[in-house]
Structure 1
Amino acid sequence: MSASPRVPAGPLSRLSPLRLGLTRGWIAFRSMIASREGITQNLIWNLIPLGALVLYRDTTLPGTDISFGVGLLPGILALGITFSVTGTAYYLTSEREDGTLLRAKALPRGMTSYVVGLSAVAVLDTVASMLMVLLPGMFIVPGVPVGSPVLWLGLVGYLLLGLLACLPLGILIGSLVKSPRTVGGLGFFGTMGLSIISGLFFPLQALWGWVQVLVQMLPLYWLGVGMRSVFLPAEAAAMEIGGSWRTLTGVGVLAAWGVIGLAFGPVLLRRMARRESGSTVEARRQQALQRI
């Protein structure tokens, strides 16, 4: 994850904030995936889950004839969506450190176009990563209901719900955390730790009762359940808590997290932007040089 490249002014500055943000987001995303660092990261982080799918493709879930790979694939996709929290927070803190946020603040309606561009990069990055795993995964893993409209409608629905829950949360975290290195380190390991205890790759019932209660308040668990509900047959719901997918509850929790992020994220972002100045950017730059 690297900071979005600086986009020059000129014709772009005459666009509406929405179009300007989308255009800047697309340029930043295209530059990011075309860079050597971006290509390397995409290869590494997408080959690992694909390797796991190959390894477990002939294994079945305990007590069923369902491929373990079909149960693994939804968890991988849910985890990829959740990483948009870390990605959005990382972009925001990086661009605050290098002065991009300060330049956006100086433009008319610049913060609006900045948030749109930030969100566009995160959405494009998440969708691209999902497709890199999903498309080959459908051929690697036996039993994926490729021809089912329920799969595709559910997949798109949970992708949108997941992004609604995660992107504002990423802006909220990025507004509170000062260093991109903190986000890159603690954010990554924190998300991976949550994935381990959120039932993405093994039944949540194997954990302590209080952990089960806590995890069910978080979006990652419900993303995993929702993804499994569209990939796995109906009888697989018996392995879930309560013996059902609890679709309405999951949609409600994800929507609630989206509302929380939308309510507090922009407020904290505006407060953070008001404190930005040339002197604060220069002070952070000098601190970064001292670490080098």
Structure 2
Amino acid sequence: MNTMTHALRVGLRRGGLEVRHTFTNSQDLWNYLFPTLIFLVVMFFMRDAAVPGTDFSLGTRTLPSLIGMNVVFSGMVTLMMSLALEREDGTLLRAKAVPNGMLGYLVGKIVLVAGMMLVSVAIVMIPSVFMLDGLALDSVTAWLTLVWVMVLGLVATLPLGAVFGSLFTNPRNAGVIMLPVMGLVAISGIFYPISSFPDWLQGVAQVFPVYWLGLGMRSAMLPADLAAVEIGESWRHLEMVGVLGAWTVVGFVVAPWVLRRMARKESGSNVAQRRERAMQRVT
């Protein structure tokens, strides 16, 4: 067995163990449940409101948009925070010291992020199916669309999480990226159709993955006639593949370079300095 194959197997095993660990960690469980409760409450109170120009439930329309947002948060924010935290505690330095250790580390993180995303999506979807009316997940095509949009969205956002996580030496500073992310969520039609926004704001939203993931999830989970309230009165799958594909290409070009640069800078003295600063903040 060559070292690369071994690293892949170790990464898969590590990722599986980390996913299992999240179910025994009270903090992780709270991170799953608390946002879900908020989302369910939001959709409950929106269920009797109607999408403008239709009699379709705004709460039902919001569910796939929230799932698309969840994919973005899983792919980008979860990986970003993991890299920032494990850079500080020396985990990345230990991975760097092993042949192909960074490959195994990243494979493990991909498994962890994908597992956490699936769990988060299930926690939101299962009660929503009973609470909301009008979902159209009654065909093989709908489920296939749900899967390929989710996979493409994760592939497009994971490199972004790796890039941002590599830029922060202090994990507490990584939270600043949440402000622009939440701003993008606000203008990306997650809670309200983007077609009601000014044209220039619609243009800004369509540059980023959040809007397209929400649109893709809506195309999979909602009736076809709901496309009438979208831009161009269409689900625009080709444009969606083009934008998410472009982000994927850019991410996979930039992320390896940034990660290699970060790994070269890692040393025992740097880790010790970061730990000392962290201890000073605690005391």
User: TM-score with structure 1 length normalisation?
Assistant: 0.91
Corresponding residue for residue 149 of structure 1: 140
The answer to whether the Cα contact below 8 Å between 1:138 and 1:146 also exists between their aligned partners in 2 is no
1:17 aligns with 2:7: yes
CA drift of 1:207 comes to 2.7
Corresponding residue for residue 51 of structure 1: 41
Corresponding residue for residue 106 of structure 2: 115
CA distance in 2, matches of 1:150, 1:286: 54
CA distance in 2, matches of 1:32, 1:232: 32
Corresponding residue for residue 133 of structure 1: 124
Corresponding residue for residue 70 of structure 2: 80
CA distance in 1, matches of 2:271, 2:168: 15
CA distance in 2, matches of 1:267, 1:14: 19
Corresponding residue for residue 100 of structure 1: 91
CA distance in 2, matches of 1:141, 1:29: 29
Consecutive unaligned residues in structure 1, runs of 5 or more: 1-12
CA distance in 2, matches of 1:167, 1:260: 11
CA distance in 2, matches of 1:231, 1:190: 27
Which of structure 1's runs of 4+ aligned residues deviate more than 3 A? none
The 5 A counterparts of 1:197-216 are 197-216=187-206
SS in 1 for 2:258: helix
Corresponding residue for residue 222 of structure 1: 212
Counterpart residue type for residue 115 of structure 1: L
CA distance in 2, matches of 1:140, 1:80: 19
The answer to whether the Cα contact below 8 Å between 2:47 and 2:132 also exists between their aligned partners in 1 is yes
SS in 1 for 2:138: coil
SS in 1 for 2:129: helix
CA distance in 2, matches of 1:200, 1:141: 17
CA drift of 1:178 comes to 2.1
Residue number among 230, 235, 240 corresponding to 2:225 in the alignment: 235
Counterpart residue type for residue 186 of structure 1: V
Worse-matched range after superposition: 97-106 or 151-160: 151-160
1:174 aligns with 2:165: yes
Name the % identity: 44
CA distance in 1, matches of 2:156, 2:182: 18
Consecutive unaligned residues in structure 2, runs of 5 or more: none
Q: Deviations over 1:101-135 (max 9, x none)?
A: 00000001101101101111111111110111012
Corresponding residue for residue 259 of structure 1: 249
CA distance in 1, matches of 2:194, 2:136: 24
The 5 A counterparts of 1:20-31 are 20-31=10-21
CA drift of 1:201 comes to 1.4
The 5 A counterparts of 1:156-167 are 156-167=147-158
Counterpart residue type for residue 235 of structure 2: W
Alignment length (residue pairs): 279
Q: Deviations over 1:51-81 (max 9, x none)?
A: 2222222332222121212210011101100
Worse-matched range after superposition: 157-166 or 223-232: 223-232
CA drift of 1:15 comes to 7.2
Q: Deviations over 1:124-150 (max 9, x none)?
A: 111110111012111111111232222
SS in 2 for 1:16: helix
SS in 2 for 1:262: helix
Counterpart residue type for residue 152 of structure 1: W
Counterpart residue type for residue 25 of structure 2: S
1:280 aligns with 2:270: yes
Counterpart residue type for residue 157 of structure 2: C
Q: Deviations over 1:4-49 (max 9, x none)?
A: xxxxxxxxx9971111101111111211231111112211111111
SS in 2 for 1:60: coil
Corresponding residue for residue 5 of structure 1: none
